[in-house]
Structure 1
Amino acid sequence: MNSVDPRRRLLELAEASGTSLSALSAMLGRNTTYLQQFVRKGSPRKLEENDRRKLSAYFGVPESELGAPEEISRPAPAASRSAASVASHVAVPRLPLDASAGQGAFVGEEVPVDTIFFSTRWLRAQGFDPGKLSAIAVVGDSMEPLLRDGDDILVDHTPRPLHDGIHVVRVGESLLVKRVQTGAGGKIVLESVNPAYRPIELSLDEVEVVGRVVWKGGRI
């Protein structure tokens, strides 16, 4: 009989690898709260076989450690990521939201569609908390040549005092990526890099700062 608590074991593996439960849920193609509810609330009661198999291969552990009966538990595939390899990288959720470098994109549902792996060492060297990062795509040309249409950007959601820099912000129902500058009289100025776009000046209560852009990636 398997005496390993699969919920506790999953949490241990996630913490050891520096990978959030929400990112692992996204890897499985699930809602971001899926594994959080499994670990914290016991719902679902057990992992589905396909999910268990993917997590077993990801962490390089037998399925029995994640709730499979001993008699059907498979050893971790030889080609799977080793524990050291898993711990060396963090899966950051890629959200299906368009941070518009233009007139503004409608904010959609924040359910990850993919993940991007980043070096744990690099993230720590930059002072980033992996659990407070997400990746989203840029749409439009107002931030060119700094950010181009189709680029992926890494957004740091860590709460901190607002400083000038490139940020993702919500204005009404639109999501924008702009150079944010604090103006006089409690105003915020949203500036584009492309000179064809004029600055937007708004009051603080009209803008929600989603996060600071800390990395970009895209095709050459």
Structure 2
Amino acid sequence: MNKTSSDESEARDRLLAAARKRGTSLAALSRLIGRNAAYLQQFVARGSPRHLDEPDLRRIAEFLGIDAGQIATRKTHPSTDGGERSSENYLAIPRLALDASAGPGRIGAQEIPFDTYRFSRRWLRENGLEGSQLSAVRVEGDSMEPLLRSGDEIFVDHTKRAGEGVFVVRIGEALHVKQVQASAPGMLKLVSANEGYAPVELPRGEVEIIGRVVWKGGRI
């Protein structure tokens, strides 16, 4: 194997390692850049295509929170953004095509990112979110008003699945955003911020905790 082929193979290996570290799949990354699910698997395993288009390369690198040069199989053009705006200083938080219902249960789509938010690592550190595994989903319904309003985007920390607080939970195939409280032994109480909705108690085994809500944003 010549040096060029070896460098290309190492770049593909770094892509695979970065995806695993981020907790995502090559199929999800392929969909993130608008390709079929097998696109990056073929790129990594077969070297086809030999090189990724630069826009795709930059978007993948931004999502993974790494420099594009680490996974490039050919020389990339240097960034004109300057060091302060390099991808290493920012984390791409995936927006998932899911709605967390604050009301009747919302059936979730596949957890595949369709877009990203780009937040500075410094901001995340200042807000105690450094090292969190975050994704963004949209709130639907009024049961969590005034805390969360329909249309708000919330950040969900998938590393926090215990304790009390506001969580995104899955019951059956439906997603909900609720205050979660301990109840009787083996039971959880799901509480709405809107007093017009009665609390619901369910066995722990029927409630899958997706993650704690740690940030919200929305239009004024």
Please, what TM-score do these two structures have when normalized by structure 1?
Answer: 0.76
Which residue number corresponds to residue 94 of structure 1?
Answer: 95
Q: CA RMSD in A?
A: 3.4
Note the C-alpha offset of 1:46: 3.8
- The structure with higher relative contact order (CA 8 Å, sep 6+) is 1
Partners of 1:38 and 1:81 lie apart in 2 by: 33
Q: Secondary structure at the match of 2:4?
A: coil
Which residue number corresponds to residue 201 of structure 1?
Answer: 201
1:147 and 2:153 aligned: no
Partners of 1:115 and 1:26 lie apart in 2 by: 13
Partners of 1:106 and 1:157 lie apart in 2 by: 19
Partners of 2:123 and 2:42 lie apart in 1 by: 30
Partners of 2:34 and 2:82 lie apart in 1 by: 19
Partners of 1:87 and 1:24 lie apart in 2 by: 18
Is the contact made by 2:92 and 2:117 (CA closer than 8 Å) also made in structure 1?
Answer: yes
1:105 and 2:106 aligned: yes
Is the contact made by 2:168 and 2:176 (CA closer than 8 Å) also made in structure 1?
Answer: yes
Note the C-alpha offset of 1:172: 1.0
Which residue number corresponds to residue 33 of structure 2?
Answer: 28
1:76 and 2:77 aligned: yes
**Does the C-alpha gap of structure 1 residues 109 and 100 become closer, same or farther in structure 2, counting only changes over 3 Å?**
same
**Does the C-alpha gap of structure 1 residues 179 and 116 become closer, same or farther in structure 2, counting only changes over 3 Å?**
same
Unaligned runs of 5+ in 1: none
Unaligned runs of 5+ in 2: 62-66
**Does the C-alpha gap of structure 1 residues 19 and 187 become closer, same or farther in structure 2, counting only changes over 3 Å?**
closer
**Does the C-alpha gap of structure 1 residues 24 and 121 become closer, same or farther in structure 2, counting only changes over 3 Å?**
farther
Which residue number corresponds to residue 165 of structure 1?
Answer: 165
Pick the aligned partner of 2:8 from 3, 6, 9: 6
Is the contact made by 2:167 and 2:179 (CA closer than 8 Å) also made in structure 1?
Answer: yes
1:67 and 2:69 aligned: no
Number of matched pairs: 206
Note the C-alpha offset of 1:202: 0.6
Partners of 1:146 and 1:205 lie apart in 2 by: 27
Note the C-alpha offset of 1:109: 1.1
Is the contact made by 2:169 and 2:209 (CA closer than 8 Å) also made in structure 1?
Answer: yes
